[in-house]
Amino acid sequence: MLKLVFLETSLELVPPNIARHPAIVKDAKRRKKKPTKIILDDSKHHAAMKDLDAREKRGRPDIIHQCLLSVLDSRASRFVDVYVHTIDDTIIWINNETRLPRNYNRFIGLMEDLFEKREIRANDEVLLKILDVELEDLFKDVEAVVVLTEKGDKDERFLRDVFRSKERIAICIGAFPHGDFEDDTLEILKEFNAEFIAIAKEPLTSLYITNRVICIYEDERVLSDRNGQKYA
Amino acid sequence: MLKLVFLETSLELVPPNIARHPAIVKDAKRRKKKPTKIILDDSKHHAAMKDLDAREKRGRPDIIHQCLLSVLDSRASRFVDVYVHTIDDTIIWINNETRLPRNYNRFIGLMEDLFEKREIRANDEVLLKILDVELEDLFKDVEAVVVLTEKGDKDERFLRDVFRSKERIAICIGAFPHGDFEDDTLEILKEFNAEFIAIAKEPLTSLYITNRVICIYEDERVLSDRNGQKYA
């Protein structure tokens, strides 16, 4: 089983200190929701966000939406356990059989529901759930923690080796638009002796990294037998 | 150069015969646009769409949005020439250096602009353009036409062989939610002796097919030297 952990995901409710800004109030009113119950979205709340801390990493829920669609659509999905760690340290578990809304606006509505109810169910099955755990708890039962980052000192071959040689792996991908991991996050990763891998020495999007990791995982573990012979 | 052609893409303006439906009028009014100048969107216009022909293939512009982001984010993008063939036979060329809006609602706005102006430019460079050509014109200068479809008689190995052995290739991927290619499309593909490849014998999304094709192309042509030695 592969644990896929999206780190510092740009997904959060509107913070109370900007909830009275006209750009937020207007959007909340149109959607008939309370300002602090809507997801922060740079495309609509840009004007309200200018004084937020770490502003350049926030208000981009489209990033995790696209990454999740790519993961859940893949043939690797049934071997992947998906976790979303958000920029404000919420941990969301996503059932790998969940059929996530493909429409962005509906995805936002679902996330607002999730933050309100802390769990989304359909027919007695939990689809999405906010967990009462810390980021470090996700790494306690794995053999290896791997982080994808432009600044990594290892390359894609190392990732293939990890997939071939280890069973329980956590792969971490940042899901924010700009900037680096926070020091707190890096400290936790280092505590678990994380390996840092650069797919390339150029900036690449979270979506591309996700696609590439999934494809390599499929090649190494999902579509190959033990001798590395491809099924397809 | 790889020609990537999205076929029968679920992207079109609201057809005149449903433009007076309340669901359309309301949305157009809110967005201060004419009903026939907005993109058909099943998530908002569902009620208006029930009598449309081929209804199950229409009103899903989110599909091409996600596929295009995946392609343009990839390291293969600079070797790929991207064409979008729509369900109503419009052909759009997309400059592979275009930074497409990642936000769905902004993407929709851009597509509405494109259908209005037929060309989108930034700093003298054409980013998107509706071409005065037919689908068959896209296949006239290639050595091989390959179609990805669940019903294909060849598998992924064949795709790798094509990437290794041919230079000018058109890869076709359907970008609609359900159903099969239209007979007219199939006729054109067969005229060019298209090969039909099934990545797997199960239904897979356009997004997943796109991701997998791009990843294989990168492995075979972008990240490998002529001896098949991987760079990364």
CB atoms within 10 A of CB A193: 9
Return the residue matching tokens 């598998």.
B155
* B75: nearest CB among A103, A106, A200: A200
- The span from the first CA to the last CA of chain A, in angstroms, equals 21
* A106: nearest CB among B43, B155, B205: B43
Asked if residue B70 lies in contact with residue B217, where contact means CB atoms within 8 angstroms, the answer is no
β-strands B80-86, A91-94 pairing: unpaired
Taking only the tens place, the pLDDT of each residue in A2-27 is 999 999 999 999 999 999 999 999 99
Provide the pLDDT for residue A51. 87
Taking alpha carbons only, the member of B30, B63, B107 closest to residue B208 is: B63
Please determine, for residue B226, whether its predicted confidence score (pLDDT) is greater than 60: no
Please determine, for residue A230, whether its predicted confidence score (pLDDT) is greater than 70: no
Split at pLDDT 50, 70, 90, the class of A130 is very high
Please determine, for residue B56, whether its predicted confidence score (pLDDT) is greater than 80: yes
Please determine, for residue A227, whether its predicted confidence score (pLDDT) is greater than 80: no
Q: Which has the higher per-residue pLDDT, A206 or B224? A: A206
Please determine, for residue A46, whether its predicted confidence score (pLDDT) is greater than 60: yes
Please determine, for residue A93, whether its predicted confidence score (pLDDT) is greater than 60: yes
Provide the pLDDT for residue A223. 85
Angstroms from B133 CA to nearest CA on chain A: 31
Percent of chain B with pLDDT over 70: 96
Split at pLDDT 50, 70, 90, the class of A226 is very low
Query: How buried is residue A220: exposed, middle or buried, by Cβ count under 10 Å (0-12/13-18/19+)?
Result: middle
Percent of chain B with pLDDT over 90: 91
The 8-class DSSP code of residue A14 comes to: P
Provide the pLDDT for residue B117. 98
Q: Please give the backbone phi and psi of residue B146, each rounded to the nearest 5 degrees, phi first.
A: -125, 135
Percent of chain A with pLDDT over 90: 91
Which residues on A lie below 8 Å from B200 (Cβ)?
75, 232
Q: Between chains, do B75 and A208 touch, taking CB under 8 Å as contact?
A: yes
Please determine, for residue A168, whether its predicted confidence score (pLDDT) is greater than 80: yes
Which residues on A lie below 8 Å from B63 (Cβ)?
102
Quote ipTM for the complex: 0.94
Half-sphere exposure of A146 (CA within 13 A, CB side): 27
| Rg of chain A in Å (alpha carbons) | 18
Please determine, for residue B232, whether its predicted confidence score (pLDDT) is greater than 50: no
| Mean pLDDT of the region B139-148 | 97
Half-sphere exposure of B219 (CA within 13 A, CB side): 19
Taking only the tens place, the pLDDT of each residue in B63-102 is 999 999 999 999 999 999 999 999 999 999 999 999 999 9
Percent of chain A with pLDDT over 70: 96
Half-sphere exposure of B37 (CA within 13 A, CB side): 13
Provide the pLDDT for residue A104. 96
Q: Between chains, do B75 and A43 touch, taking CB under 8 Å as contact?
A: no
Nearest residue in chain B measured CA to CA from A199: B232
Provide the pLDDT for residue A229. 56
The 8-class DSSP code of residue A92 comes to: E
Average pLDDT, chain B: 95
Q: Which residues of chain A have a Cβ shorter than 8 Å from any chain B Cβ? A: 43, 60, 62-63, 66, 69-70, 73-75, 102-106, 155-157, 199-200, 202, 204-205, 207-208, 211-212, 214-216, 218, 230, 232
* A212: nearest CB among B66, B157, B215: B215
Return the residue matching tokens 């027919």.
A123
Which residues on B lie below 8 Å from A29 (Cβ)?
none
Provide the pLDDT for residue A232. 46
Please determine, for residue B148, whether its predicted confidence score (pLDDT) is greater than 70: yes
Provide the pLDDT for residue B68. 98
Provide the pLDDT for residue A170. 98
Please determine, for residue A215, whether its predicted confidence score (pLDDT) is greater than 70: yes
Angstroms from A137 CA to nearest CA on chain B: 31
Asked if residue B37 lies in contact with residue B112, where contact means CB atoms within 8 angstroms, the answer is yes
The secondary structure element, H or E, covering residue A4 is strand A2-9
Split at pLDDT 50, 70, 90, the class of B229 is low
Q: Which residues of chain B have a Cβ shorter than 8 Å from any chain A Cβ? A: 43, 60, 62-63, 66, 69-70, 73-75, 102-106, 155-157, 199-200, 202, 204-205, 207-208, 211-212, 214-216, 218, 230, 232
For A74, B98, B187, B199, the CA distances from B202, given in Å and listed in that order, are 11, 33, 24, 9
Please determine, for residue B134, whether its predicted confidence score (pLDDT) is greater than 50: yes
Angstroms from B191 CA to nearest CA on chain A: 27
